[in-house]
Structures are given as C-alpha cells and as structure tokens.
C-alpha cells in the first residue's frame, strides 16, 4: 500500500511460552477505519499494543508515518504516543478525581499546552461528542456511554494521526454502543484520523472501511475484506 | 467459605513481606521508646525514696527573736541535721550536715560508718570533681573524704551530693537545723506530677504516629490486594470476615514488633540513662518496667494494632468487584475547625485561671493538659479541611499536567492525603510549643552583668559578729580576691538592705550610689532581682548614717572574675563562716532557677520529637506507596498515553507537598500561639522568645525526611506502572 500510514511487517511477540503474535504483516491507510476481529486470546490487543509502540515486538518492524517505532527508545516512543496516538479502552480509563474537562485537557497539558488553551480545546471536543453540558462532571457521576465519549474526546483532542480503540463499546448496551461508535467515527472521519478498532461485534465492524481477523497470532485467510 | 481458604487467598501476596517488615520496624522503635518512658514513669518516685536520708523531718530548733537558736545537748539517740545548697563552677552540690555524739546509736544509712566532724562521704560525681579540682576551690569546704555514697542513696549516677560530719555546736547554731532520732527512710514524695504528665504526653506523642502508621500500612495492604479482596467478597466472605483477617495479620506483625521493641529497649536504656530527668541521670533499673508491665505493653500494642487494622479494613471495605466504583470522600466542611477553636479556648481559659487563682490551679492544670490533647487532636481533624481548601485553590491555578492530576486527587481525597502527613504535622505542633516555651524560659536565665545588679565577680556570704572578722581575713588571703566588703545590719530592723561604704557599694556593682560616706544597699535584691522579670528594676541605694556600732550581716568578696578565684573565695568564706548557708553568687542564683529543668525537658522533647518525626516519615513513605499502588491503573494509563515517569513522580510529590505545606505552617504557627499563651499567663513576667537553632533543625529535618519518604516511593511508582506489568483492555 503506497500511502500507508501504519506499516507493520513480520511482527512476532511472545510472553514466555505463549506466542501471542506469530508473524503479522499489516498496512493501514491514512484516514482508514480498520476493524480487527478474532476470538478471545488470539492476540488482537497484543497486536495494537505493538502497532502503537506500547510493546516492543520480538521481531519485525512497525512504521507510522515514516517513523520506525521499533528503532526508538522507550522514552521516545512515549513522546511519540503522546503527540501522534490516541487510545480508547473498554472502561475505566478516565482519572476518577478529575472532571471530564480536565480529563480531556490532560494529554494537551502533558504536551506542554497552557491550561487555558487546553481547557478551551477540551470543551470544543466535549461539545463535538455531545457532552457540552457534562464538562464539569466527574467520571463517577456519568453513565458508561458518557464516560466512553469523554475517553474518545480525550483520544481525539491531541489531533493524533491514529486512534487505537480496544473494544471501546464492549461494556455498553447495544443502543448506547451504537451512539458512542457513531460519535467516534464521525469525529474521526471529520478530522481524517486513522482508526484501528478491535471488536467482537460484527455490527460494529460493519462501520469500518476494512476488516481483518486475527487467529492464533496470525491474520487469517480473508485478511482484507474490503468494503 | 472457611477462614482457612480466605487466609490462603489473602496472605502471602506480593509485597506482604515488605509491608509487614515496615510495621515490625515502626512498632519496634515506638515500643522501645514506650518501654523506657514507662519505666521512667513508674520509677519516678523511687528516685526520691532513695534520697529520703537528705530530708529533714525532725523538730525545728527553738529560735529566739534575735535569731539565736537553742539546741538540746548531744545524746546518743539523737542527731542534728541541716542541709544547704552549695555551688562549684556553676554546679549544684547538695550538702547534708549531720552532727552526732561520739558514741552515737544513730545508724547511718546503708551501713555507712557514723561520721566524726571534718569527715564526709561524697557521691561518685562529687568524688570525681574533687579529684579534678584543687582542694582550696572545693574539697576544703567539707574536710576529709572517707567514703562514697552508695547508689541506693542517690537519685541518679550523676547526682552531686555530700554527707558531712559536723560539730554539734555548728549545726546547733543553724536556724534551719532539725533534731531527729535518725535519718529518714520514708522520704518525701516530691510532686513529680509535672514530669509524669510530660512523660504521659511523650507516650501519646509516641502512640499517635504509630497508630497512623498501622492504619496507613493496613491501607497499603488493602491497595496491594484490592482484586483479591474483591474476589473473596464475591465468593461470599462477609465484611467482618475480611476485616478479621486484616486484624489477624496486623496483630501478628505488631506483636512481633513489640517483642523486638522490648529487646531494643535494653540497649536503649544505656543511652536514655544519660539524659537528665528532674535534675539527675538515671540508673538503668530506673528505666526498666516490671515484667508484668512489659507483658501488658506488648499485649496492649498488639490489641491496638489489630483494632486499628480491623477498623481500617471494615471502613474501607472494597465490596465485590463491579460494586466498587471509585467515589470521592464525604465532603469535609469548615466545621472541622471547631475542635481546634474549642481546644484553644479551653487552653487559654485554663491557663488564665491557673495564673489568676492559685486555689484552682491544680484543676486548671488538668484542664490545661486535656485541652492540649484536644488541640493536637483538633489539628488532625482540621487538617483535611485545610488541605481541601488549599488544594482546590491550587487546582484552579495549576498549569502542569502533574499539578492538575495531584490537585484533583487532593480535592477529592483530602482525608487520606492528609492522613499521610498527619503524624508530621502533629509532631511539628508539639515541638513548636516546647521550643517556644523553653527558649523563653532560657532567655532570662543566662546571667550577664547588668547595671545595678550584683557583679558576677562577687561572692556573697551571710555573716554574724562571731564569724565576720575571720571571714574577712580568710577572703583577703584567697588568691584572686581584689576587695572584701562588709555589709552591716541597719539599726532599723524593718529596713531592707545592709549598710556599707559608698565605695564598697560601687565595687559590688551598685549604681546611682548617692553622695554619702555610707549607703544602704539591698544586696538581696541585687542578688536575686526584685522579680523574675528580665527588666527587673535594680534597687536604688539610699544614704545612711554610717557603719559605726552596727553588726556585720554579709561579707562579700570581689574577685578578679576568674572561676578559680570565685571558687577559692567561696571556699574561704564557707570555712570561716557559720556553715548554715553556702556563699553564693548571682550566677548560682540563675543556675538554680527553672532553667536546668526546662533545658532537660527540652532535650527530652527534642529526642521524642525526632523519633515521632522518624516514624511519621516512615508512615508517609508507606502512604505514598499505597496511594501509588491504588492508582496503578490510572497511572499506567497515563504512561501508556505518553506521560513521562518524571511527571508521574511530580504527581506523587505534589500530593504530599501540598497538604504538608498548607498544614505545617499552620501547626507551627498554632504551636507558637500556644507557647505564647503559656508564657504570658504562667511565665511570671517572662517574655516570649523565638526558639533557637535546634527548632529550625527539627523543622528542616522533618521536611527533609518527608522529601526522602516521598522519594522512596518513586521506585514503586515506576515499577507498578511499567507497561509490561499492566494490562489494558
Ligand atoms: N502481559 C502478558 N503476559 C503474559 N501473557 C500475555 C500478556 N498479554 C497477553 N498475553 C497472552 O497473549 C495471548 C494474546 O492475548 P491478547 O490480550 O492479545 O488477546 P486478545 O485477542 O486481545 O483477547 P481478548 O479478546 O480476550 O481481549 C493470550 O494467550 C494472553 O494470555
Ligand atoms: Mg484484548
């Protein structure tokens, strides 16, 4: 793929005796929404952790936008994640002691933004995700769907090149799952952000541009189901 | 679910060993101190009992109007006894003079041979001084040293006391002498309440940080096993069962710590016995409580540890997984300051009552101490409110990511964040009170030359017609004496002062001496001051008719000011005088004041505080680690999102620094306020003085320890948030 934002080749990763990834080659295009599916324990989370530079693969390389993550130090990868990558997890990723606004502003502050500017940006993204009236609330006082939307706002607020989402709607009922997912994909598409989305749910995967299936640490048969 | 299976699930988890080791160490240090404090407390009266022989219990001699005494003739079944306070090179020596008939039946204490006039027994400390000082400066005052007073007759190993054999007639002419059938054995139970109260406060000061430590370590235990506890709860263990396990574990650890502490107390006694308490160091036995007390201490501390852990676990129950969502603490309100207000009001009130109505002062003293405890408690209650107030203001201005995270935590968890530093804050309060009081007392007791007061070079001795000439001659002969001055009893018996030559008055330090040949000078006021006030008005000499025909009342030696000359003059005047009162100087008058006692209390206080601060710092370290572990998921997420470890450390450091900074200043300020109240109400005209270097050392030391304690948690912060060790789904 010529205009690949993420390009991974020959990824292998083992945890002791467990081989989680057994040789994965994968390209993700700029602006693409990719769904990663597969049975439990097949290595999906391990894959995106390697793609995001959270874990260093035992073998293989990962390049994002021309930067070879596997050649960077742990600190440099942390810096890279802060500036270029957003994360959304299933639940419990917000700081319970901070308001929604401060939660969203946090990565901006970590990147050196001024408080006032960071808060303004946070309010902007909360507004885009339909949470303008929730900005002052703390996560403990929100519904699961609202909390996930705050997490999405936080992932997008730094305007990253790519957002990795590991079952972002896994803990929600199907109705709110739909709302949250649509909000995320709409916001991502508007800003042309690449999304790599792990899901168990075929309906969720249907929102993606493309779908890959991981089985036993490999991309299985119909690796690229293009839509 | 059986207790056994729950135990399998809970005990032996990662970090348990290190956590319990912290408890064992902290408890051991505190118990070692407690044991020594307790021993001191219990044996306080024994010290006085051993010195019963110094106590005058017999009939006073008959004294006629002109001051002459009538004593019975010597008999074999009676003795005459008198005592006085002597000084040598600024050290107090208690002199007990005993006169017995040659074939006396009076038994000397502890099998000592009866003394004949001119012989004396000395305590080891005095014997040592005699070895090191020329006889004309010291030993000549008492005669021939014939033996050492045994330990059983001394308050402590450094006690300076002598038992002197004196001629019957000499003691008989002493208006303070008593006739008794023998040495007293019961002794006078001196009022050691003050000391006991201080020891009790010291023990509380020791217990507060240890309770905080135990509660904080239990919290760490809960943090380390949050998931396991939640699982155990899900399987069906009750809240009480989980709390019971926690109590069991902590009880075992505190028991082990207490036993270690008792063992550590043995060598600690050697160090503690060198500290001066109530004017004397201690024999190791005086610091050793009986086995029953030791066992009671171990049992008490163990129960306390288990109870605190039980309560902590019961209150912080995690519940089953899913059921627990992180919640903010209940909001702390300004009401928390009321305890402090009540304590302060009670304190000031009782200090004022103790000052104004002596009749009520005993009751007021009890209230005073109780309100002191209320105040200390009040600081710990008000701390979270102050922490919340400061941190929410801080949160509004915070600009860095680490500051925003810390402020969020502080604002929502002021209780638990303050609890980490509560020990340090309480210790700083108590040390500030002590330091404030102690430095104020000391301010006036360092003697210096002051216009109108007796010159520090002068030794003053009481005299009468029979001895004055010999005293003058002896003083003149002493090396280093520049002038000898005699003061005469004025014709008017109601007049305060003695009559002397105007030149002589100037020589002993009097100012504003009128232009007359003879003047009347109040040497008593020149020696002691007219009050304890620093700015005591020096007495003003008045013109007098002359010394002709008057009886001598005092003989004063003006020396060259060297310590040796002063002691030589003192020895010469003493030997030639009537031996009823020891010659004295203004330096002695100051040394005999409250200064020594307060100084020794200050030393004790600073040592106690050093230990309390140490334990509190340990508690802070544990609390910081617990807080980091509790939030390893959020911290891990922050690192995942790219937060550098340095910023995470910043979060942890800020979470300790803000409550410390906001409450430390307040507690030091309150400490000085309390000290100031004490000084102005009960200080008899003392002036409040800021404390000396030791206080600032204690303050800087606690801050440094706090910084160390926080830094000690950095390793855990980094390891527990390591990306490989955290799983995110
Ligand atoms: N940190 C780790 N230590 C040890 N083994 C691990 C670790 N992370 C993953 N594994 C193992 O690697 C394999 C793949 O795990 P991974 O979490 O990637 O699966 P997954 O596809 O995300 O599963 P699920 O859908 O259940 O989240 C599993 O067998 C898992 O047990
Ligand atoms: Mg997974």
Interface subset of B 403-462, CB within 8 angstroms of A: 404-405, 408-409, 411-413
CA distance B124 to A106: 72
Interface test with B, best of A94, A110, A111, A170 (most B CBs within 10 A): A110
- Is the model's pLDDT at B4 over the cut of 80? no
- Answer yes or no: is pLDDT of B386 > 60: yes
- Sign of torsion over alpha carbons B640, B646, B649, B653: negative
Domain covering A4-224, topology? Rossmann fold (3.40.50)
Specify the DSSP element, H or E, that contains B634.
helix B632-640
Q: Which residue stretches of B94-192 are H helix?
A: 124-132, 168-172
The domain spans of chain A are 4-224
Contacts of A13 (CB under 8 A, 6+ apart): A19, A20, A21, A43, A46, A50, A55, A57, A58
Helices (H), B225-327: 226-235, 239-272, 291-315
For residues A205-221, average pLDDT: 89
Residue A42 CB less than 6 A away from ligand 1: yes
Tokens 């409110």 sit on residue: B385
User: Strands A210-215 and A33-37, how do they pair?
Assistant: parallel
- B126-134 long-range Cβ contacts below 8 angstroms, 24+ apart: B126/B93, B126/B160, B126/B161, B126/B162, B129/B88, B129/B91, B129/B160, B133/B88, B133/B89, B133/B567, B134/B564
- C-alpha B146/C-alpha B139 separation (Å) is 12
Closest-lying ligand 1 atom to the alpha carbon of residue A200: 25
Mean pLDDT score of chain B: 82
Which tokens hold the place of A145?
Answer: 């769907």
Using one digit for the tens of pLDDT, what is the confidence trace for B448-469?
Answer: 788 888 888 999 999 988 889 9
Average pLDDT for B415-439:
82
Are B497 and B490 contacting, i.e. CB atoms less than 8 angstroms apart? yes
CA distance B403 to chain A (A): 10
Contacts of B135 (CB under 8 A, 6+ apart): none
* pLDDT (0 to 100) of residue B257: 93
Q: Which atom of ligand 1 is nearest to the CA of B727?
A: 1
Asked which of B137-146, B656-665, B680-689 is least confident by mean pLDDT, the reply is B680-689
Confidence of residue B699 (pLDDT cuts 50, 70, 90): confident
Q: CB neighbours (10 Å) of residue A145?
A: 19
Count of alpha carbons within 13 angstroms of residue B461, beta-carbon side: 33
Cα B185 to Cα B666: distance, rounded to the nearest angstrom: 51
Query: Which candidate from B399, B413, B642 shows the least CB-CB separation from A78?
Result: B642
ipTM of the complex as predicted? 0.86
Query: Is the distance from the beta carbon of residue A134 to the nearest atom of ligand 1 less than 6 Å?
Result: no
**B342: exposed, middle or buried (Cβ count in 10 Å: 0-12, 13-18, 19+):** middle
pLDDT tens for each residue of B337-361: 899 999 989 888 888 887 777 676 6
Q: How far is CA A93 from CA A105, A142, A154, B45, in A?
A: 14, 13, 10, 64
B463 neighbors B553 (Cβ within 8 angstroms): yes
What is the pTM assigned to this prediction?
Answer: 0.71
pLDDT, one tens digit per residue, over A183-198 is 899 989 988 899 999 9
- Contacts of residue B230, defined as CB under 8 A and 6 or more positions apart, other chains included, come to B318, B319, B320, B321, B324
Q: Are B476 and B625 in contact (CB under 8 A)?
A: no
DSSP character string of B422-490: HHHHHHHHHHHHHHHHHHHHHHHHS----TTSPPTTEEEEE--HHHHHHHHHHHHHSTTEEEEEEEE--
């Amino acid at each position: 793929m010529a205009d690949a934002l993420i390009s991974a080749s020959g990824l292998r990763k083992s945890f002791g005796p467990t081989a989680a990834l057994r040789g994965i080659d994968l390209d993700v295009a700029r602006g693409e929404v990719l769904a990663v599916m597969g049975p439990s324990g097949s290595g999906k989370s391990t894959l995106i952790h390697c793609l995001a530079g959270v874990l260093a693969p035992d073998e293989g390389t990962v390049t994002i936008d021309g930067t070879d993550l596997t050649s960077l130090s742990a600190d440099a990868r942390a810096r890279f994640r802060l500036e270029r990558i957003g994360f959304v997890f299933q639940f419990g990723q917000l700081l319970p002691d901070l308001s929604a606004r401060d939660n969203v502003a946090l990565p901006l502050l970590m990147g050196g933004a001024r408080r006032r500017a960071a808060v303004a940006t946070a309010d902007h993204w909360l507004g885009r995700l339909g949470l303008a009236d929730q900005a002052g609330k703390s996560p403990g006082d929100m519904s699961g769907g609202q909390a996930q939307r705050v997490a999405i706002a936080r992932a997008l607020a730094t305007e990253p090149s790519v957002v990795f989402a590991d079952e972002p709607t896994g803990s929600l009922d199907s109705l709110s799952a739909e709302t949250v997912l649509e909000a995320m994909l709409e916001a991502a598409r508007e800003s042309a952000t690449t999304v790599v989305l792990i899901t168990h749910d075929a309906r969720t995967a249907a929102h993606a541009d493309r779908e890959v299936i991981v089985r036993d640490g490999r991309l299985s048969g119909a690796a690229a189901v293009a839509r | 679910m059986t207790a056994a299976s729950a135990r399998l699930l809970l005990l032996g988890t990662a970090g348990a060993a290190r956590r319990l080791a912290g408890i064992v160490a902290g408890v051991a240090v505190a118990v070692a101190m407690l044991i020594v404090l307790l021993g001191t407390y219990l044996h306080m009266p024994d010290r006085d009992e051993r010195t019963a022989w110094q106590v005058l219990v017999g009939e006073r001699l008959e004294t006629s109007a002109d001051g002459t005494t009538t004593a019975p003739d010597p008999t074999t079944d009676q003795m005459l006894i008198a005592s006085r306070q002597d000084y040598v090179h600024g050290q107090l020596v208690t002199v007990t003079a005993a006169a017995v008939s040659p074939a006396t039946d009076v038994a000397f204490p502890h099998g000592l041979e009866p003394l004949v006039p001119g012989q004396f027994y000395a305590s080891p400390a005095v014997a040592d001084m005699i070895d090191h000082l020329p006889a004309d400066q010291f030993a000549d005052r008492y005669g021939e040293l014939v033996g050492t007073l045994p330990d059983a007759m001394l308050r402590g190993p450094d006690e300076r006391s002598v038992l002197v054999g004196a001629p019957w007639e000499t003691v008989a002419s002493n208006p303070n002498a008593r006739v008794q059938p023998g040495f007293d054995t019961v002794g006078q139970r001196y009022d050691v309440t003050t000391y006991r109260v201080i020891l009790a406060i010291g023990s509380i000061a020791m217990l507060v940080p240890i309770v905080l430590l135990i509660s904080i370590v239990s919290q760490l235990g809960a943090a380390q096993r949050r998931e396991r506890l939640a699982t155990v709860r899900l399987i069906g263990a009750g809240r009480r069962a989980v709390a019971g396990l926690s109590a069991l574990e902590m009880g075992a650890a505190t028991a082990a710590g207490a036993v270690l502490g008792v063992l550590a107390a043995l060598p600690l006694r050697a160090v503690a016995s060198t500290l001066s308490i109530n004017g004397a160091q201690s024999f190791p036995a005086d610091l050793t409580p009986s086995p029953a007390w030791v066992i009671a201490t171990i049992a008490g501390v163990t129960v306390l540890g288990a109870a605190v852990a039980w309560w902590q676990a019961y209150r912080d129950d995690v519940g089953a997984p899913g059921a627990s969502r992180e919640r903010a603490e209940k909001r702390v309100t300004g009401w928390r300051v009321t305890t402090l207000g009540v304590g302060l009001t009670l304190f000031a009130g009782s200090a004022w009552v103790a000052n104004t109505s002596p009749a009520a002062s005993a009751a007021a003293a009890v209230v005073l101490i109780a309100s002191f405890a209320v105040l200390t408690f009040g600081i710990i209650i008000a701390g979270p409110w102050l922490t919340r107030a400061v941190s929410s203001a801080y949160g509004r201005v915070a600009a860095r990511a680490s500051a925003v995270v810390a402020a969020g935590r502080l604002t929502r968890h002021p209780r638990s964040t303050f609890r980490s530093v509560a020990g340090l804050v309480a210790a700083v309060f108590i040390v500030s009170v002590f330091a404030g009081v102690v430095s104020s007392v000391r301010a006036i007791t360092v003697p210096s030359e002051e216009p109108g007061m007796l010159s520090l070079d002068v030794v003053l001795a009481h005299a009468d017609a029979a001895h004055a000439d010999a005293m003058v001659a002896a003083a003149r002969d002493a090396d280093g004496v520049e002038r000898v001055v005699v003061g005469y009893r004025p014709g008017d018996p109601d007049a305060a002062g003695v009559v002397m030559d105007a030149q002589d008055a100037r020589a002993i330090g009097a100012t504003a001496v009128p232009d007359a040949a003879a003047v009347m000078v109040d040497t008593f006021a020149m020696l002691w001051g007219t009050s304890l006030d620093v700015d005591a008005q020096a007495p003003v000499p008045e013109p007098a008719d002359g010394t002709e025909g008057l009886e001598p009342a005092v003989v004063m030696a003006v020396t060259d000011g060297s310590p040796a000359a002063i002691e030589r003059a003192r020895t010469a005047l003493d030997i030639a005088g009537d031996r009823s009162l020891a010659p004295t100087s203004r330096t002695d008058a100051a040394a005999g004041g409250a200064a020594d006692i307060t100084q020794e209390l200050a030393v004790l206080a600073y040592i106690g505080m050093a230990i309390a601060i140490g334990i509190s710092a340990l508690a802070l370290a544990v609390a910081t680690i617990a807080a980091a572990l509790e939030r390893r998921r959020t911290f891990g997420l922050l690192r995942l999102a790219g937060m550098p470890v340095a910023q995470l450390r910043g979060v942890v450091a800020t979470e300790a620094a803000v409550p410390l900074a906001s409450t430390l200043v307040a507690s030091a300020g309150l400490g000085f306020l309390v000290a100031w109240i004490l000084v102005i109400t009960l200080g008899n005209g003392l002036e409040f003085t800021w404390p000396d270097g030791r206080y600032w050392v204690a303050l800087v030391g606690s801050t440094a320890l706090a910084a160390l304690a926080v830094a000690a948690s950095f390793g855990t912060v980094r390891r527990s948030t390591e990306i490989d060790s955290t799983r995110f789904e």
